[in-house]
């Protein structure tokens, strides 16, 4: 094998290792604090939701996939009512405009705006990004799909 082929193979291996490390399930580390401002000026904190699982979706109103998620999040919220809290977190925008966009798309779950440092604390690099947090405030899954949430909470 040539030196170039060895370098390419090493780079591919390093990239694959990094991707795998990012995609694996977290070891139930404590979720960073979450403090959201709602359209009516009230606040939502992760601490206030302690005792029940929380599905957190970081989203943006300009994100097409996030807009499609509104229906799925609403369905999940209704299907698992009493078993999970659904919270949508925007990292930009005015709370009233953000909530209005979600309501217009059919979402009735909790919606709020947090500052960008919250997104950084959760490691959000794209939208949407979802986390499942258990009732003790520990992250159970990152980039969780809807089927996994249903499987975890409605076996």
pLDDT digits (tens, 9 = 90+) for 82-139: 889 999 999 999 999 999 999 999 999 999 999 999 999 999 999 999 999 999 999 9
Residue 31 belongs to some domain of the structure: yes
CATH of the domain at 131: 3.40.30.10
Q: Which of 123, 24, 130 is nearest to 84 (CA)?
A: 130
Give yes or no for residue 15 having a pLDDT over 50.
no
Residue 120 has a pLDDT of 96
Distance CA 129, CA 32 (A): 15
Chain segment 50-59, per-residue pLDDT in tens:
999 999 999 9
User: What was the pLDDT predicted at 52?
Assistant: 92
Tell which wins on pLDDT, 117 or 16: 117
120 lies in some domain: yes
pLDDT band per the 50, 70, 90 thresholds, residue 74: very high
Residues of the domain holding 81: 26-153
End-to-end CA distance of the chain: 51
**Domain assignment of residue 94, yes or no:** yes
Place 150 in a pLDDT band, splitting at 50, 70 and 90.
Answer: low
The pLDDT, as a whole number, for residue 145 is: 72
Please check whether residue 8 lies inside any domain of the structure.
Answer: no
Residue 48's nearest CA partner among 100, 93, 87, 96 is 87
Share above pLDDT 90 across residues of the chain, in percent, rounded to a whole number: 69
Query: How many domains, in total, are found in the chain?
Result: 1
Let me know if residue 10 belongs to a domain.
Answer: no
Q: Identify the pLDDT of residue 14.
A: 40
């Amino acid at each position: 094998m040539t030196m170039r082929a060895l370098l390419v193979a090493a780079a591919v291996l390093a990239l694959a290792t990094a991707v795998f490390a990012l995609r694996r399930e977290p070891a139930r580390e404590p979720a960073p604090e979450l403090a959201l401002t709602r359209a009516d000026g009230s606040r939502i904190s992760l601490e206030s939701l302690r005792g029940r699982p929380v599905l957190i979706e970081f989203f943006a109103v300009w994100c097409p996939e996030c807009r499609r998620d509104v229906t799925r999040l609403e369905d999940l919220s209704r299907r698992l009512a009493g078993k999970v809290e659904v919270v949508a977190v925007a990292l930009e925008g005015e709370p009233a405009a953000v909530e209005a966009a979600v309501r217009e798309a059919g979402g009735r779950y909790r919606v709020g705006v947090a500052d960008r440092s919250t997104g950084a604390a959760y490691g959000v690099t794209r939208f949407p990004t979802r986390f499942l947090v258990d009732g003790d405030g520990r992250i159970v899954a990152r980039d969780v799909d809807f089927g996994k949430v249903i499987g975890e909470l409605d076996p």
